[in-house]
Copies of this chain bind each other. A is one copy, B any other.
Amino acid sequence: MNHAILLNNRPKGMPQIDDFKFVEEDMPAIRKGEVLLKTSYVSVDPYLRSKMNDAKSYTAPFELNKPMYSGIIAEVVESRHSGFEVGEFVSGMLEWKVYQASDGRGLNKVDVGRAPLSSYLGVLGMTGLTAFLGLSEIGKPKGGETVVVSGAAGAVGSVAGQIAKIMGCRVVGIAGSDEKCSMLSSDYGFDEAINYKTSKNMRKAIAAACPDGVDVYFDNVGGEISDAVLVKINQFARIVVCGAISVYNATSLPQSLSVQPFLVKNSALMQGFIVTDFEASFPQALAQLSQWLKEDKLKYSETVVEGFDQVPRAFMDLFEGKNTGKMLVKV
């Protein structure tokens, strides 16, 4: 039998295990021109939460009683497609199933010899691309500038901060535990790390860590943390709005500090970033990320949970910050 995970209910607030449905189904049969894929790793990411709502958006929401999907690494275990051989590994937006058929569209082959399989969902996948392109296309940090990263110990944040260091910036990370903060400083070379859970006054903490103000803010969280950064932005600051994990589970539209007076006073820019808008730049960005990885200029960490049935749990744990670096499920 095959196993699949469907969307059972649209969550109200924080997702619950009942919002997912675990089903067994027949093994898929493949036709001519198709491959049979066996899932190796499932990526769970905060942005998936938005797709669980029935909100109008430019990407379709997940459908009720249909499989969830996300970035997945899979092995070709059977092939009737001339472009794929058994034993090859691919990445793509695939369904939360152990086995699935594919006609090959949207699949990218993964070079197992070059880097660990799982890294193609992280530093050499969407999260690495998000960090690199969010910074280079919107943040545009210049050497000597101060870059603040929220969600800094997460998959995107930890890479974004390291890239800003490579670019010669002063980098301040915000994370949710002393362990994460000490990792940011000692392993990833951040200049300062602020634990927002123990900091009594975030505005003062940001001010102390950024004596020259904030030139680039790579924002993964939104909410009060972002309010505290906003009051310290410099003239011509750039805010990369990459995510807003702190408000994804809000059941009503959340309120924050009004950004308009700060933006106008500082001629500052704030821009929503979705990595798939920049697909044309993926090859070049991946080449740069691979190069830095090879030169050991870029480190990454993963939180790997084992077992296909743990996918929803791993996803829910993101909202409690239980991951360090990329959260993955090994199947």
Contact = CB atoms under 8 A, between A and B. Distances in A.
State the number of copies, please.
Answer: 2
Contacts of A241: 259-260, 263-264
A50 B274 CA distance: 34
A264 B274 contact: yes
Contacts of A270: 259, 263, 269-271
Interface in A235-267: 235, 241-244, 247-248, 253-267
B268 A272 contact: yes
Contacts of A271: 263, 267-271
A215 to B, nearest CB: 13
B277 A272 contact: no
Given A50-B261, A255-B255, A267-B274, 12 more contacts: A50-B265, A223-B258, A241-B263, A247-B258, A248-B261, A253-B257, A255-B257, A256-B256, A264-B272, A267-B272, A267-B277, A269-B272
11 contacts: A57-B265, A241-B259, A244-B264, A253-B257, A253-B258, A255-B256, A255-B257, A256-B257, A263-B272, A264-B273, A267-B277
